[in-house]
């Protein structure tokens, strides 16, 4: 799904702690070699030579098309919170406050799909903007810029619309019949388990070992 969302972009950048978006991006690159994938925290062969500000300078100039952001909380206004909730402190906003409004296609990504993660209103707005999509472990939403509301696009295999309603803390629109998210093809799965897992393992060794046994 991540590879499909990146679509025909020329340059996708991946920030901190994003092994799943990184996997999707490298999967797409294995099929579309012209795609540029810049992994901000790459340990070897990092794409940047001007220090950690270069990612933001590139984004500010419009040289990055797609970026992924997550959040301890994400709300129905598409605001994200990386700072604090329910008395708990999280790491902090990282570059989100800047990246979200300047990147043309920001994809919100949160694996956990629950009322704890998807809330009516975030406690702290780390960043706000107009996302391209919200992808969770259970469903895909698009963003309706004018109405400022999410719209359910598809539900991942094994989940139902009722379950999505029950587990989502904010209101959203949904078509009469909601489609099922397409599963990866056999070819894509083979790529994910092979070369992509290997590519990811250098920077996310724990993730690669846990998910792909790489």
Partner 1 sequence: MEVVRALIRRRARGLRLLGVPVLGFSADLLIGAGCVAEVETSAVSLGEAGLAPRFTEAAQKGEIKIRDATCPAIHTALQAAEKGVPFMPLRGVLGSDLVSGRADWKVLQNPFAEGADPILYVPAIAPDIALFHARWADEAGNVWIGRRKEVATMAHAAKRTLVTFEELRAGDMLEDELLAPGVLAAVYVEAVAPAERGAWPLGVAEVYGIDDAHLAHYARAARTREGFQRYLDEFVCTRKKNSLPA
Please give the residue ranges that form the binding site for partner 1 (CB under 8 A). Answer: 16-17, 41, 43-44, 46, 48-54, 56, 60, 82-84, 87-102, 124-129, 204-207
Alpha-carbon dihedral angle through residues 180, 117, 123, 15, given to the nearest 10 degrees: -80
> Which residue number, 48 or 170, has a Cβ lying nearer to partner 1?
48
> Which residue number, 56 or 212, has a Cβ lying nearer to partner 1?
56
Instruction: Catalogue the long-range contacts made by 29-34 (C-beta closer than 8 Å, 24 or more residues apart).
Output: 30/191, 30/195, 30/196, 31/3, 31/191, 34/10
Least separation, in Å, of the C-beta of 212 and partner 1?
15
> Which residue number, 63 or 163, has a Cβ lying nearer to partner 1?
63
User: How far is the CA of 10 from the CAs of 38, 53, 105, 110, in angstroms?
Assistant: 11, 21, 12, 24
Least separation, in Å, of the C-beta of 139 and partner 1?
26
Least separation, in Å, of the C-beta of 168 and partner 1?
23
Least separation, in Å, of the C-beta of 138 and partner 1?
23
For the chain, strand residue ranges (E) read 11-14, 36-39, 66-69, 73-75, 80-81, 84-85, 88-89, 105-110, 118-119, 133-136, 139-144, 149-155, 179-180
> Which residue number, 162 or 206, has a Cβ lying nearer to partner 1?
206
> Which residue number, 49 or 185, has a Cβ lying nearer to partner 1?
49
Least separation, in Å, of the C-beta of 57 and partner 1?
8
Hey, is 124 helix, strand or coil? coil
């Amino acid at each position: 799904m991540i590879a499909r969302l990146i679509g025909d972009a020329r340059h996708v950048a991946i920030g901190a702690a994003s092994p799943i978006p990184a996997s999707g991006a490298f999967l797409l690159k294995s099929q579309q070699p012209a795609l540029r994938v810049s992994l901000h925290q790459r340990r070897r062969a990092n794409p940047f030579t001007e220090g950690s500000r270069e990612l933001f300078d590139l984004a500010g100039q419009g040289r990055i098309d797609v970026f992924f952001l997550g959040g301890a909380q994400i709300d129905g206004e598409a605001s994200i919170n990386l700072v604090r909730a329910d008395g708990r402190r999280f790491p902090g906003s990282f570059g989100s406050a800047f990246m979200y409004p300047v990147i043309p296609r920001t994809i919100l990504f949160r694996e956990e799909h629950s009322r704890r993660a998807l809330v009516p209103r975030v406690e702290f707005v780390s960043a706000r903007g107009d996302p391209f999509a919200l992808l969770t472990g259970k469903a895909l939403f698009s963003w309706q810029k004018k109405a400022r509301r999410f719209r359910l696009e598809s539900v991942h295999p094994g989940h139902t619309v009722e379950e999505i309603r029950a587990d989502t803390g904010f209101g959203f629109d949904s078509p009469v019949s909601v489609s099922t998210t397409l599963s990866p093809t056999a070819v894509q799965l083979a790529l994910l388990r092979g070369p992509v897992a290997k590519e990811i393992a250098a920077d996310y060794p724990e993730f690669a070992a846990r998910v792909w046994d790489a």
